[in-house]
Amino acid sequence: MHRWQGLVVIAAGSGLAIGLAWGGLQRDEAPDTRSRRASGSGESRVPDALDPLRDEIAALDVALATEREARRDLELEVGQLRQEFAALERFPIDEPEPATGKESGAPDPPAALFQAAKLQDAGVSEDAVQQLRERHDRGVLDELYLQDQAAREGWLHSARYRRELQGLRTELREELGEGDYDRLLYAVGRKNRVITVSVLHASPAMEAGILAGDVIYSYDGRRIFDLRTLKLATSQGQLGFTVSVGVVRGDQHLRFFLPRGPLGITMRPATRPPDRR
């Protein structure tokens, strides 16, 4: 009996050859078939070359989710700042008045420099000045500690730092009360009054009787020490609702009633001695 290993048929004239493998000829197996055989026989799995790429994709997915969350927080903060900016734009503001001759052009002292002599000249007792100075120093230290903590932990220029700083200053104002807070601003050389520069024709302020040179002392029962506080106050609450506006004109304390909203005045900040009353 002959053992054929193969059969070759040659087509004459065409040069075409067809090979048929019999007997000992084995076909190539697919890679997945070999791997299944290996796993079925108890052999360990060969590491996949794509595993590092899968790990990198998973890490990028986590980073992308974190970035999206941070972006949402930033969008919320930007939205709040835009609302505040829109409120601040509702009034035109004049530039602060230039330094007068009696100051010899000297700049304002640093906010942390408490000038006790200014308060004594304004008629504040020595004991009251000392107590106010001690509270001022504690407030400055609190702000320094907050700044140091924020710098060490990496949130010095964040919305959190601004909120906590504002919280310290609000706490200081509430603890002191309006009178002592006014004295503190004056002692450290900060602006503590809002002066009316001009009154727009047919504006609520003109119809109520407010004049250029008037000091806006209070709005809706709240003392006014700076431009920002007044601008925010007029944009809060129900538009058109009647509120009281306290004004100082010379030695007189006057009260006017206006609809809540734009007053129709131009203003500038100023420094004035605290009230003696």
Helix (H) or strand (E) holding 119: helix 116-121
| Structure token digits, residue 189 | 């050389």
- Tens digits of residue pLDDT in 51-95: 888 888 888 888 888 888 778 777 776 765 665 555 444 443 333
Domains and CATH numbers, the chain: 109-187 (no CATH), 193-270 (2.30.42.10)
Eight-state DSSP code of residue 253: E
pLDDT of residue 271: 94
| Res 106: pLDDT | 39
Q: Is 102 helix (H, G, I), strand (E, B) or coil?
A: helix
Please report the pLDDT score of residue 85 as a whole number.
55
Beta bridge partners of 19: 8
CA separation for the pair 51, 186 (Å, rounded): 68
Residue-by-residue pLDDT tens, the chain, 277 positions? 444 444 333 333 444 333 433 344 444 444 444 444 444 444 555 567 788 888 888 888 888 888 887 787 777 767 656 655 554 444 433 333 333 333 333 344 345 589 999 999 999 999 999 999 999 999 999 999 999 999 999 999 999 999 999 999 999 999 999 999 999 999 999 999 999 999 999 999 999 999 999 999 999 999 999 999 999 999 998 998 999 999 999 999 999 999 999 999 999 999 999 987 5
3-state secondary structure of 147: helix
93 φ, ψ to 5°?
-125, 130
Strand partners, 198: 266
Structure tokens at 70: 């941070």
Q: What is the DSSP letter of 93?
A: B
Find residue 234's DSSP bridge partners: none
Q: Residue 203 CB: number of other CB atoms within 10 A?
A: 16
